[in-house]
Structure 1
Amino acid sequence: MTISLDPHYAFDKTDVLSVNAIRACAADTVFKSNSGHPGAPMGMAPAAHVLFTAIMKANPKNSSWWNRDRFVLSNGHACALYYIMLHLMSYKVSLDDVKNFRQLESNTPGHPEVGITDGIEVTTGPLGQGFANGVGLAIAQTHLAATFNKPNYPLFDNYTFVFTGDGCLQEGVASEAASLAGHLRLGNLIVIWDDNKITIDGNTQNSFTEDIEMRFTAYGWEVLYIEDGNLDLDGIYFTIQRAKQNKDQPTLIAMSTIIGYGSSLQGQVVVHGAPLKAADIGGMKSRFGFDPSENFYIPEATRELYARATERGIAANEKWNQLWADYKAHHPIDSAELERRMEKRLPDGWESALPVYCPGDPAAQGRVYSQTALTKIAEILPEFVGGSADLTGANLSRWIDAVDYQAPETNLGQRTGRYIRYGVREHAMVAICNGLDAYGGIIPYNATFLNFVSYAAGAVRLSALSHHRVLNVATHDSIGLGEDGPTHQPVETAAWLRALPNMKLWRPADGNEVSAAYIESIKDTRHPSTLCLSRQDLVNLEGSTIERALRGGYTLQEADNADITFVSTGSEVQIVVAAARILADQGVTCRIASLPCWEVFERNDEEYKLSVLPSGAPIISVEAYSTFGWGVYSHEHIGLPGFGMSGPAAQVYEKFGLTPEAIALRASKILDIYKSDGEKVRSPLLSATRRILQKERFA
């Protein structure tokens, strides 16, 4: 294959000067902050320079341009390099911002964060996550291209470029994602591996001696090589351009570099994660021909070179704008639909498609209600794209006429398909969903058992940190799994998901609450959601409505002068209703509250929340999980003391005292103690700290 060097990119001494200036600036950046990682930025400066100035199609003046090439720094500790490149390319990152690296409230944080720094596509730092995000970005591009591109109208033809390091390639999430990317034949994905053979613990020979190239070849990737990533700018350019020619495979470029290139400590582990000494930085600058006393020096020739690169990006965007204007004129229906999706606008009245249930309707499993909702959503929201980690039949996560997203050559589906077969890859699945949301135009969902959301914890956390609208459909949500036993029963999973900032955990108690969970999760473009869905039947409850459930918590059954308020979620609400009937026969009056989503409930004002969980009577929570966390809403907690148990579901519930009879007996004993104490019962919502925060929230 012959590839000509574009005359715009005839690399010369100005490029060498610029690369060395980037290296020196990276050393200065980490030194000034007295924190960070100088080694990888100095080693990868040539590849970054070539990529940003000679290959990538992006407009720094319009960093949200739909068809821009995406860049992901999976080895996010090298972000000093990323910030310098964004500054040079004229994104909204000043030199003062670079100097403020890792300082409080700067827009150049310790690892890249989407929404904080202009030009950052995804939040990276935990190794391997960016690699998997890149797979999601690549899937999104191929899907939208297949859906909206027309002959002579390549609206979406961008590439996703990922920088990755040895650490990323050791993480399981990257392996999962790479395996799927190879299967899906994502020819628009190019990963550049900084093969410097150093991790924090030292040389990779200590723990990482596998044949990476053979592994990726086995995954179905093309593997290319850059023998000298320190100096060979032409070689870097030619290799990336060759990778772009392969439309049928993702490409891994193994690029040999020396970590900390230019430092007297180059190639050593000490340059990985600590600032260089001042004398070393000065010596390096002298060797590069720079004034050792001048910090953050950017030669004028470098600024001119990057200004030309920026202008090319602006011109590419303007050319695309002309294409888009012509597309809109010739394809008004498709263009209006695409515009709606990319702007995250939902069709008017789409919520009315969700099913509404009445108390007389037949009971169904939570996952069955979910499948019904998914089917309705898929009909009205064509941007709704998702799949399961090999549990399609168990999660009921695929609507009946769904088409699989696949490379068409496999005869397994189409690029326009909206159902993704993730295989047994929970961690990569959620990380890929983060990439799908980051690209735009797609509402991603995924499905597995609730217990195995824990396998994806790293990616779930980044969904929340990054404000990605990702729906985690998590079935088999409690000890209701029964015979599968404690290895599959997620007794603690809800607690950590509820503790996760920005995460909305829904545990619906009936069909209306399932519909409400989907409505809220889709409408909220800034938060991920996890829907905990039962395998056992849920009756449709008297007092349940979608409108009430959309408040996150509500009074299911009211009673004047109640002796007890029960608060519960999910499959236990119907058990509590039965327990309340037993207590009523004993002369005990009960109120019942359903609290399907704590995060949404907290958005209500204090008056409303106190109407649901009032003072005056003990509040008793009931849930087939660990009781950890319930102290914010209830005085007393009925739940699980440890892991679950293997056996038929009804017997397991009985074993742990989660039957109407056992709950009624426990509640009666609790009430006796409260009566004997004779103290006024105040709602847990009236703690001083909560009241202060409530006032601040609504100020």
Structure 2
Amino acid sequence: MNAAAERLPSSDTALMANALRMLAVDAVQAANSGHPGMPLGMAEIAVALWDRHLRHNPRNPQWADRDRFVLSNGHGSMLLYAVLHLSGYALPLDELERFRQLHSLTPGHPEAGVTPGVETTTGPLGQGLANAVGMALAEALLAREFNRPGHRIVDHYTYAFVGDGCLMEGISHEACSLAGTLGLAKLIVLYDDNGISIDGHVQRWFADDTPSRFEAYGWNVVRDVDGHDVDAVDRAIASAREASRPTLICCKTVIGRGAPTKAGTHDVHGAPLGAAEIAAMRLALNWPHAPFVVPQPVYALWDASVRGAQDEAQWTQRFAAYRERYPREAGEFERRMSGALPSTWPDAARMLVQTAHEAGQSMATRKASQNAICALAAALPELLGGSADLTGSNLTDWPACVDVQGGEHGPTGGNYLHFGVREFGMSAVINGVALHRGYLPFGGTFLTFSDYARNALRMAALMKTRAIFVFTHDSIGLGEDGPTHQSIEHAASLRLVPGLDVWRPCDTVETAQAWVSAVQREGPSCLLLSRQSVPFCARSQAQVDAIACGGYVLRDWAPDDASGGLVCNGEAERAPRRVVLIGTGSEVALALAAVAPLAEKGIAARVVSMPATTVFDLQPPAYRDTVLPAGVPRVAVEAGVTAPWRQYVGLEGEVVGVDRFGESAPASAVYAHFNLTHEAVVDAALRAISRA
């Protein structure tokens, strides 16, 4: 038995911590899979936080003013599951016994929406920490917006557990630098400083002076706390709650604390301990109980249901007094925390699209997006936007927006955030804001930099967060910046993410509808917008309404002849040959420009605008078949990789696109260089028809 695994005392706090330890190792052993080291090492830290500081109500995990807890080092999920079970959440013991099993409430990493009490999905290290920054930001802004003298209805903390891995990931720098700049004082992070990662002792690859790093960010740092001393951690948290800056509490711990031969080694990080080690551990901890057996006195020590219900009842009384004094604000707070849109939203949404339709303007879709944002901000007070240092290019601001800035007492109020050059951090912070509720967040950058943000976009889709990602400069059409900035594969790759709506509108009307659809959706959306001007497309009202389907007929076979004939040389004839031209974004104009040359060759062309393949694919088959009828040759055109469009045109169809990186030149020259022209669309149509 090594020093780290010495027999532990039997105080109440020790019993609480050891209950966590044994539930964790028993669950990992039963699953023959998991990460026991972190739960063993952070058990006392969990006791200090959850028993002495965290305001939460197991009977109502969605209580608006609860403290938020994020397990950023989500591989240690059994620590959280054990805490939730013991403190009274609807997570029965048999779910812990089914750890990591199909359809259990205890998946391998915590998942929001699966397990009661889990605030965010974690596992990709560092993102939980960034989500916590977003939650703390939402709390601070809501407090500024809704609290009144003598009436503090928004007054909670955000706590996060992190490990070495979270702090090694670059996103931790992006998010924590921003948190320090904004002064998010109600963000408290507890660092499991055990010096071990999967490969071994981290000093060989992680020798940072972490406390000084966070002090440089402007954080309050509590150094060298004994993470196995509940009282010491308790004091550190209490001091952090009084700080005027975000706090990092550096807790010195031993990974796998309590395991007789494996504590303090990387062997305990990510593998079951084994039956012999667990048996020896029971002796070392003086825990004589069978697997998954917790004595009732220990349950009584952990149970937070009564205290949580009392905390919520006290808040409910305060909110009732607030409602009596500020009825409009109370109603607005409840609406926004529920995620409901205002009663005026349907009219505002209709007006937004109709205004764009009636104006009939040609412009870049990034500018059309800014016009939409301006209208949306007037209709949606919960809109909270920003950009990763590209505001003037993304056009994500609007005349009435107010910048959020750091202040002596935390961030100032406002609705626009300058995220700095932090695409990944911005996207994960946005996810945290959305998870907190109260705001509808969006953030902008160039489409090519979606690569930096990619895993946060994936997590948004996995969690179904109501977040909007604005990506401008969406193709080779951005021109002179060249291949480093010209998106070729990005639209296609984003469309592959399950649950992520991707809009690439062709003009002002489609851009307005894209925003409306994104606002109304219970899930994330990406808007891919052009730098260059695109022409306005005239439409009927029925076509305007059809944009929401993601794909629709923009120009039918014979727009010059209502009888269905084709005008050739001034005489109406029945067209013997037909083709469907599918375009998206700025390339819809190329498809439209190909109609007349094809007509001259006796070919009737239907133009289908496909602003959102991800939405079109979910339409009923009958609708899709009406738009893309079987047996008619098809051509797709997009300034991007061609392979994904085979889903719509088939092997016998044609795709006009770009399958190599771009070039630095004016947009028109780049389009010509890559043969992205209406003439190329005509030639492709002829080839497709010849094979029909």
* Pairing 1:528–2:524 present: yes
Q: Deviations over 1:248-304 (max 9, x none)?
A: 210000000000001121000000000001111111111111226x11231222111
The 5 A counterparts of 1:531-550 are 531-543=527-539, 545-550=543-548
**Structure 2 Cα separation of the partners of residues 600 and 360 of structure 1:** 26
Letter matched to residue 584 of structure 2: T
**Structure 2 Cα separation of the partners of residues 409 and 42 of structure 1:** 38
Which position in structure 1 is the counterpart of 2:372? 373
**Offset at 1:353?**
4.0
Q: Deviations over 1:92-123 (max 9, x none)?
A: 11111111100001010000000000000000
Q: Secondary structure at the match of 2:554?
A: strand
Which position in structure 2 is the counterpart of 1:389? 388
Which position in structure 2 is the counterpart of 1:6? none
Moved more, 369-378 or 277-286: 277-286
Which position in structure 2 is the counterpart of 1:614? 629
Which position in structure 2 is the counterpart of 1:582? 597
**Offset at 1:360?**
7.4
Which position in structure 2 is the counterpart of 1:52? 50
**Structure 2 Cα separation of the partners of residues 289 and 574 of structure 1:** 75
* Pairing 1:243–2:240 present: yes
Which position in structure 2 is the counterpart of 1:569? 584
**Offset at 1:624?**
0.3
Residue 311 of structure 1, aligned match among 306, 311, 314: 306
The 5 A counterparts of 1:147-546 are 147-230=145-228, 232-246=229-243, 248-263=244-259, 264-291=261-288, 294-307=290-303, 309-347=304-342, 348=344, 349-355=347-353, 356-358=355-357, 361-409=360-408, 415-525=412-522, 527-543=523-539, 545-546=543-544
Residue 660 of structure 2, aligned match among 633, 642, 666: 642
**Offset at 1:359?**
8.0
TM-score w.r.t. length of structure 2 = 0.93
Letter matched to residue 594 of structure 2: A
**Structure 1 Cα separation of the partners of residues 279 and 681 of structure 2:** 73
**Offset at 1:604?**
1.7
8 Å contact from structure 1 (residues 18, 299) kept in 2: no
Moved more, 313-322 or 543-552: 543-552
**Offset at 1:358?**
4.1
Moved more, 512-521 or 359-368: 359-368
**Structure 2 Cα separation of the partners of residues 51 and 319 of structure 1:** 21
Q: Secondary structure at the match of 2:150?
A: coil
8 Å contact from structure 1 (residues 21, 299) kept in 2: no
Aligned residues: 657
Moved more, 336-345 or 372-381: 336-345
* Pairing 1:651–2:669 present: yes
Q: Secondary structure at the match of 1:567?
A: strand
Structure 1 gap segments, 5+ residues each:
1-10, 675-699
Letter matched to residue 284 of structure 1: M
Moved more, 514-523 or 282-291: 282-291
**Offset at 1:520?**
0.6
**Structure 1 Cα separation of the partners of residues 544 and 209 of structure 2:** 55
Letter matched to residue 672 of structure 1: S
8 Å contact from structure 2 (residues 147, 153) kept in 1: yes
Which position in structure 1 is the counterpart of 2:571? none
Cα distance change, pair 521–177 in 1 and its aligned pair in 2 (3 A): same
8 Å contact from structure 1 (residues 160, 190) kept in 2: yes
Q: Secondary structure at the match of 1:22?
A: helix
**Offset at 1:553?**
0.7
8 Å contact from structure 2 (residues 225, 236) kept in 1: no
* Pairing 1:665–2:683 present: yes
Q: Secondary structure at the match of 1:589?
A: strand
**Structure 2 Cα separation of the partners of residues 605 and 269 of structure 1:** 52
8 Å contact from structure 2 (residues 655, 684) kept in 1: no
**Structure 2 Cα separation of the partners of residues 600 and 447 of structure 1:** 22
8 Å contact from structure 2 (residues 585, 611) kept in 1: yes
**Structure 1 Cα separation of the partners of residues 351 and 295 of structure 2:** 60
Q: Deviations over 1:135-158 (max 9, x none)?
A: 000000001000001111111110
**Structure 2 Cα separation of the partners of residues 147 and 235 of structure 1:** 35
8 Å contact from structure 1 (residues 40, 259) kept in 2: yes
Cα distance change, pair 137–358 in 1 and its aligned pair in 2 (3 A): closer
Cα distance change, pair 358–520 in 1 and its aligned pair in 2 (3 A): closer
Q: Secondary structure at the match of 2:443?
A: strand
8 Å contact from structure 1 (residues 404, 414) kept in 2: no
**Offset at 1:209?**
0.4
8 Å contact from structure 1 (residues 194, 254) kept in 2: yes
Q: Secondary structure at the match of 1:177?
A: helix
8 Å contact from structure 2 (residues 183, 411) kept in 1: no
Q: Secondary structure at the match of 1:402?
A: coil
Q: Deviations over 1:520-544 (max 9, x none)?
A: 110012x100000001111111236
**Structure 2 Cα separation of the partners of residues 342 and 57 of structure 1:** 18
Instruction: Provide the aligned C-alpha RMSD in A.
Output: 1.5
Letter matched to residue 491 of structure 2: A
Q: Secondary structure at the match of 1:77?
A: helix
Letter matched to residue 32 of structure 2: N
Which position in structure 1 is the counterpart of 2:144? 146
Cα distance change, pair 166–360 in 1 and its aligned pair in 2 (3 A): closer
8 Å contact from structure 1 (residues 353, 377) kept in 2: no
The 5 A counterparts of 1:31-110 are 31-110=29-108
**Offset at 1:666?**
2.7
**Offset at 1:415?**
2.8
Cα distance change, pair 464–607 in 1 and its aligned pair in 2 (3 A): same
**Structure 2 Cα separation of the partners of residues 660 and 409 of structure 1:** 58
**Structure 2 Cα separation of the partners of residues 372 and 339 of structure 1:** 29
**Structure 2 Cα separation of the partners of residues 373 and 360 of structure 1:** 13
Which position in structure 1 is the counterpart of 2:607? 592
Which position in structure 2 is the counterpart of 1:686? none
8 Å contact from structure 2 (residues 71, 161) kept in 1: yes
Q: Deviations over 1:448-476 (max 9, x none)?
A: 00111111011000000000011001100
Moved more, 634-643 or 110-119: 634-643
**Structure 1 Cα separation of the partners of residues 643 and 139 of structure 2:** 42
Letter matched to residue 280 of structure 1: E
Which position in structure 2 is the counterpart of 1:633? 648
**Structure 1 Cα separation of the partners of residues 98 and 599 of structure 2:** 65
Q: Secondary structure at the match of 1:121?
A: coil
Moved more, 366-375 or 584-593: 584-593
Percent of aligned positions that are identical: 44
Q: Secondary structure at the match of 1:252?
A: strand
8 Å contact from structure 1 (residues 225, 239) kept in 2: no
Letter matched to residue 94 of structure 2: D
**Offset at 1:226?**
4.3
8 Å contact from structure 1 (residues 364, 537) kept in 2: yes
Q: Deviations over 1:469-494 (max 9, x none)?
A: 11001100000011111111111111
TM-score w.r.t. length of structure 1 = 0.92
8 Å contact from structure 1 (residues 359, 542) kept in 2: no
**Offset at 1:496?**
1.3
Moved more, 530-539 or 338-347: 338-347
**Structure 2 Cα separation of the partners of residues 60 and 133 of structure 1:** 22
Q: Deviations over 1:379-416 (max 9, x none)?
A: 11010001000000000100012101122449xx9632
Structure 2 gap segments, 5+ residues each:
1-8, 558-563, 565-574
**Structure 2 Cα separation of the partners of residues 90 and 359 of structure 1:** 57
Q: Secondary structure at the match of 1:276?
A: coil
**Structure 2 Cα separation of the partners of residues 647 and 64 of structure 1:** 53
